Amino acid sequence: MTKPTLLLIDGNSLAYRAFYAMYKQLDRMVTHDGLHTNALVAFNNFMDQIVDPMSPDYAVVAWDADSGKSTFRGELYSEYKSGRAKTPTELAEQLPYMREMVAFHGLRNYEQHGLEADDIIGTFSREGEALGYSVTIVTGDRDLTQLATDNITVNVTKKGVTEIERFTPEYIAEKYNGLTPQQIIEMKALTGDTSDNYPGVTKIGEKTALKLLAQYQDLDHLYANIDQMKASKMKENLIKDRDQAFCSRKLATILTDADMALPLAEFEYRGIDFDRLIPFYETLDFKQQLAKIRALKKSGQLGSEDQSEVEDNLSLTILQSNNLHAVTELGHQVALHIEIAGDNYHTDDMIGFVIGDEQRGYFASRDFSLLQSPEIKAIIESPTVEKRVYNVKAQRVLFKRLDIELRNATFDFLLAAYLLDTTDNNAELATLAQKYDIYLQLDEDIYGKGAKFSVPTDEGRVLMHIAHKADTLNQLIEPVMVQLKEHEQLALYQDIELPLASVLADMEYTGIRVDQNQLQEMGESLDAQIVDVEKAIYEEAGEEFNINSPKQLGILLFEKMGLPVIKRTKTGYSTAVEVLEKLADQAPIVAYILQYRQLAKLKSTYIDGLLAVVYRQDSKIHTRYLQTLTQTGRLSSVDPNLQNIPMRTEAGRQIRKAFVPSEPNWQIFGADYSQIELRVLAHMTGDKNLQRAFLNDEDIHSETARAVFGLNDDAPITSLQRRAAKAVNFGIVYGISDFGLSNNLGISRAEAKRFIDTYFEKFPQVHEWMENAKTLAHEQGYVETLAKRRRYLPDIHAKNFNRRSFAERTAMNTPIQGSAADIIKIAMIKMNQVLHEHHLQARMLLQVHDELIFEAPTSEIPELEEIVPQVMDSAVALDVPLKVESRHGSNWYSAK
DNA sequence: CCTCTTTCC
DNA sequence: CGATGGGAAAGAGGA
């Protein structure tokens, strides 16, 4: 029979710890009513992680009844705890809620006039020990370690409130040179306590005190034998401060025999009271906690008495996996999900799958051979049964891996959520579903994360988890579709993003072949060059150092070599290219460093990086396009990023030679939009001058140069003027500032401002549109693209100039960049259809924002040169033409 | 995990 | 007064 357990918590001390543990978040953690919650959140974590799992038999949270003044210590020593800073108001306002929290977690609060929390704990701990309990004390104050015995453990919080140091008598002896818990008091008497403001003995700190106590055990023996102590400054101090020491000892002694108003028996631990805790969490805006509770309830992990409190008490029907017939009974709308172990659906293991609907239940299994049964396969491949999924692109690839084609997926919660609000993108289902008041457990709660990821041995738990996911999808479709309709985004969703997801899945699954030998050879050549440059750098530097470390490099260049500091970063000197280029003529090492940087980048990111992700079975790279990440509607590409393969420098561009067709006698074919963003700008602004330039197929940078520099139609344009005009055009698209442009062109701000003013004079509707974009963002809180893609800009209202300015530039740039993204997405969907209709073998492989890359039989190249630009420039009808250029060759290098 | 740097459109 | 161009991914170093 185990001993009953008693938990004693030092409320005041933990409240302080909690407050300062989350002090940085103070301003962010405020409820809708303006109550700070940082300490409450930390305190609740403590309850969650320490108290609830411990589930003691008795528990008390002790609080100071009033300041130390009214206790015996205040009477004994008038300065006791004086000079202590007042409790910050932000903490004080949280204390009453903390007591409620304690109560709702099933613990009793206790305070008593004339006693500090320490004394309450001291007395109860002895009382508990006498009753044969196993006592656990939790505090942030080391003084309480004096209470430790074989039956009383004192836990002192380390950093935060959930990490703890356990003080047992053995641990104290080990840590403090053989000290007993009782001697902690003697130590405090000698050293004093600055926070409680009592003195101890002059010049005696922990080390000296430990030495003295090892010799004399306590104050009484010390002073009894002080005459034999050989003369020293310390001895003088001990004699001088004798009264102080004894007084401090009384102050440091925690009462263990105070008269308590209530006996321990009154403090039975009652467990969490969900009826009161849930509304309490609601008033505190504890969304995560509420989500957790609901998830636990749903998965039936709380006791049955708790279950009744669940408003949406859901019991999922899990169909037996040996009953395939049940699947055929499912309706014409089913939720479908394959669960995988990780992010990379091309390579990661599949954990289980589920298919089902709300009426008939969910068929979940870990046996993937069942998916090959005609019953299930027919549903997935059916063009009439509607499938509801989370991340249709991933699901489509997963089914492809199983040789099954996912058809007619009409609802993708991930895509829909992204269109509704780009800011909470790419989150997992559980997180996104919370917005709709649907709560399920995070994957992390089931599988753990990082190195600890593992599939639970309890198969039922896994199947229940994935069944909940499917059920969530069935519940979400209605409210989500309503919102899309309200946003007028049904067309964007149904005609662009949803079909695009399948196109992307096919591109990713097809992959692009890379010539590994070629990469290998380039790598060896790079290595040789790197070694040479390294040598040159060390020679110039006169020492060896880590060139890859901006910190070490900065010290060398700007301290040891004394080069002028051009720019600083938050943490030190900037060594970025633009800085090094300005320094290049001052020391030969600088040029070497620039060269080293380029070579090192090519080697690590592009040679080693790409080789590491070549899929062994087919010698191809299968990137993943993130369709729900960017704030503008562009795609991004990961594992690896195939949207930043070098192009600008010849050495880097060589990398593209390793991207080759996957079939003999095929070629790489590429097509890109020419100046799509400026054309979109001309269309959206309606600016007649800008539109005319494109309608006449003029060189846009030259036209801008004419406008900005006031040149005649036939006047010659210098390359410098054209370069400046190009920078202006870029600046316009990005939301220009005279500062940015002056930096970019190395001209004065005044001059840059003249360029911009002149530009806006010549293209007045561009100016008008820019101003209007900012106004719109201000009034409605968001901006839109041509296809009604939406981006919210909360910072447009910011008081902070920087944040507001960013939001304003974003308001101007997002409609342009985002509309260009809309256009190429539409083109990609049409492209897939057209390639199919023309019975071409050509395959679309990559998208790089304004460019599409294909592989095709050489014989199809002439037809592609016709079809591809035609499909791309007719993707949408703008007031200006879209222009497409194409190239082809035996690899990506020669197709550009 | 964050900072710095480089790569792309 | 003074901040000051849009959107991304990845590797290396260092806390």
Please write the tens of the pLDDT for every residue from A676-712.
Answer: 999 999 999 999 999 999 999 999 999 999 999 999 9
Angstrom distance, A219 CA to C9 C1': 66
Nucleotide nearest to A552 in CA–C1' terms: C13
Angstrom distance, A601 CA to C11 C1': 8
- Assign A802 to helix, strand or coil: helix
Which pLDDT score is estimated for A206? 74
Average pLDDT over residues A537-546: 94
Closest to A505 measured CA to CA, from A428, A400, A381, A413: A400
Per-residue confidence at A311, pLDDT binned at 50, 70, 90?
Answer: very low
Which alpha helices (H) appear in A403-515, and where do they start and end?
Answer: 413-420, 429-434, 443-447, 459-486, 490-491, 498-510
Angstrom distance, A800 CA to B7 C1': 32
- The reply to whether A582 has its C-beta less than 7 Å from any atom of strand B is no
Per-residue confidence at A203, pLDDT binned at 50, 70, 90?
Answer: confident
Helices H / strands E in chain A, number of each? 40, 23
Residues comprising chain A, all counted = 896
Kindly tell me the burial class for residue A461, based on how many C-beta atoms sit within 10 Å of its own C-beta (0-12, 13-18, 19 or more). middle
Nucleotide nearest to A820 in CA–C1' terms: B9
Strand order across the beta sheet in which A512-514 lies: A620-621, A512-514, A659-660
What percent of chain A is modeled with pLDDT above 70?
95
- The reply to whether A210 has its C-beta less than 7 Å from any atom of strand B is no
Angstrom distance, A743 CA to B5 C1': 19
pLDDT-wise least confident of A350-364, A444-458, A464-478, A628-642: A444-458
Overall CATH class of domain A630-686+811-896? alpha beta
Give the closest residue to B9 (Cα–C1′).
A849
In which residue ranges of chain A is CATH 1.10.150.20 found? 687-810
Per-residue confidence at A74, pLDDT binned at 50, 70, 90?
Answer: confident
Angstrom distance, A544 CA to B4 C1': 21
CATH code assigned to A512-621: 1.20.1060.10
pLDDT-wise least confident of A38-42, A175-179, A302-306, A784-788: A302-306
Which pLDDT score is estimated for A305? 42
- The reply to whether A476 has its C-beta less than 7 Å from any atom of strand B is no
Of A residues 427-466, those with CB within 7 angstroms of nucleic strand B are: none
* A34, pLDDT greater than 90: no
Which pLDDT score is estimated for A90? 84
A210-219 contacts, C-beta under 8 A, 24 or more apart: A210/A176, A210/A177, A210/A179, A213/A179, A213/A183, A213/A186, A213/A187, A214/A177, A214/A178, A217/A183, A217/A186, A218/A182, A218/A183, A218/A186, A219/A186, A219/A189, A219/A190, A219/A245, A219/A246, A219/A249
Give the closest residue to B2 (Cα–C1′).
A571
Per-residue confidence at A192, pLDDT binned at 50, 70, 90?
Answer: confident
pLDDT-wise least confident of A300-304, A524-528, A560-564, A883-887: A300-304
Question: How much helix, strand and coil, in percent to the nearest 5, is found in chain A?
Answer: 55, 15, 35
Angstrom distance, A183 CA to C15 C1': 38
Q: Does domain A5-177+255-267 have CATH number 3.40.50.1010?
A: yes
Angstrom distance, A636 CA to C8 C1': 6
Give the closest residue to C9 (Cα–C1′).
A641
Most confident among A56-65, A312-321, A500-509 (mean pLDDT): A500-509
* A300, pLDDT greater than 60: no
Angstrom distance, A602 CA to C11 C1': 11
DSSP letter (8 states) at residue A399? H
Give the closest residue to B6 (Cα–C1′).
A601
> Hey, what are A150's tokens?
């074989």
- Residues 6 or more apart whose CB falls under 8 angstroms from that of A369 comprise none
Characterize the bridge pairing of strands A361-365 and A512-514: unpaired
Nucleotide nearest to A551 in CA–C1' terms: C13
Closest to A172 measured CA to CA, from A150, A198, A145, A194: A145
Which pLDDT score is estimated for A727? 94
In which residue ranges of chain A is CATH 3.40.50.1010 found? 5-177+255-267
Nucleotide nearest to A673 in CA–C1' terms: B9
- The reply to whether A609 has its C-beta less than 7 Å from any atom of strand B is no
Angstrom distance, A616 CA to C6 C1': 38
Which pLDDT score is estimated for A291? 73
Of A residues 649-678, those with CB within 7 angstroms of nucleic strand B are: 649, 652-653
Nucleotide nearest to A608 in CA–C1' terms: C11
Give the closest residue to C8 (Cα–C1′).
A636
Nucleotide nearest to A802 in CA–C1' terms: C3
Separation CA A84–CA A362 (nearest Å):
62
Q: pLDDT (tens digit, 9 = 90+) per residue, A603-614?
A: 999 999 999 999
Give bridge partners of residue A514 from the DSSP assignment.
Answer: A659
- List chain C nucleotides near protein: any atom < 7 Å from a Cβ: 2-15
Q: pLDDT (tens digit, 9 = 90+) per residue, A560-590?
A: 999 999 999 988 999 999 899 999 999 999 9
Which pLDDT score is estimated for A435? 85
- List chain B nucleotides near protein: any atom < 7 Å from a Cβ: 3-9
Which pLDDT score is estimated for A442? 87
Per-residue confidence at A831, pLDDT binned at 50, 70, 90?
Answer: very high
Q: pLDDT (tens digit, 9 = 90+) per residue, A242-273?
A: 888 888 888 889 999 999 888 888 899 998 88
Nucleotide nearest to A649 in CA–C1' terms: B7
Per-residue confidence at A434, pLDDT binned at 50, 70, 90?
Answer: confident
Per-residue confidence at A591, pLDDT binned at 50, 70, 90?
Answer: very high
Average pLDDT over residues A532-549: 95
pTM of full prediction above 0.75: no
* Per-chain mean pLDDT for chain A: 90
Kindly tell me the burial class for residue A328, based on how many C-beta atoms sit within 10 Å of its own C-beta (0-12, 13-18, 19 or more). exposed
**What is the distance, to the nearest Å, from the Cα of residue A391 to the centroid of all Cα atoms in its chain?**
19
In which residue ranges of chain A is CATH 3.30.420.10 found? 290-488
In which residue ranges of chain A is CATH 3.30.70.370 found? 630-686+811-896
- The reply to whether A849 has its C-beta less than 7 Å from any atom of strand B is yes
| Residue A667: how many other CB atoms lie within 10 Å | 23
Angstrom distance, A271 CA to C1 C1': 58
| Residue A615: how many other CB atoms lie within 10 Å | 13
Residue type at A384? T
Per-residue confidence at A395, pLDDT binned at 50, 70, 90?
Answer: very high
Angstrom distance, A287 CA to B7 C1': 40
Average pLDDT over residues A16-23: 81
Closest to A267 measured CA to CA, from A377, A468, A103: A103
Which pLDDT score is estimated for A867? 98
Angstrom distance, A550 CA to B3 C1': 10
Nucleotide nearest to A733 in CA–C1' terms: C6
The CATH superfamily label for domain A290-488 reads Ribonuclease H-like superfamily/Ribonuclease H (3.30.420.10)
Angstrom distance, A720 CA to B1 C1': 44
Give the closest residue to B4 (Cα–C1′).
A550
Separation CA A320–CA A832 (nearest Å):
40
Q: pLDDT (tens digit, 9 = 90+) per residue, A44-58?
A: 888 887 788 788 999
Per-residue confidence at A1, pLDDT binned at 50, 70, 90?
Answer: low
Q: Which residues of A85-119 are buried (b: 16+ CB within 10 A; e: fewer)?
A: eebbebbebbbebbbbbbbbbbbbbbbbeebbbbb
Separation CA A612–CA A347 (nearest Å):
13
DSSP letter (8 states) at residue A484? H
Q: Say which residue, A202 or A562, is predicted with more confidence.
A: A562
- The reply to whether A600 has its C-beta less than 7 Å from any atom of strand B is no
CATH topology of domain A687-810: DNA polymerase; domain 1 (1.10.150)
Average pLDDT over residues A286-301: 70
- The reply to whether A555 has its C-beta less than 7 Å from any atom of strand B is no
Which pLDDT score is estimated for A437? 78
In which residue ranges of chain A is CATH 1.20.1060.10 found? 512-621
Angstrom distance, A522 CA to B4 C1': 26
Nucleotide nearest to A571 in CA–C1' terms: B3
- The reply to whether A218 has its C-beta less than 7 Å from any atom of strand B is no
pLDDT-wise least confident of A81-90, A153-162, A462-471: A81-90
Give bridge partners of residue A778 from the DSSP assignment.
Answer: none
Query: Is the Cβ–Cβ distance between A314 and A437 less than 8 Å?
Result: no
Which pLDDT score is estimated for A541? 94
* A32, pLDDT greater than 90: no
Angstrom distance, A564 CA to B5 C1': 20
* A199, pLDDT greater than 80: no
Q: Say which residue, A89 or A291, is predicted with more confidence.
A: A89
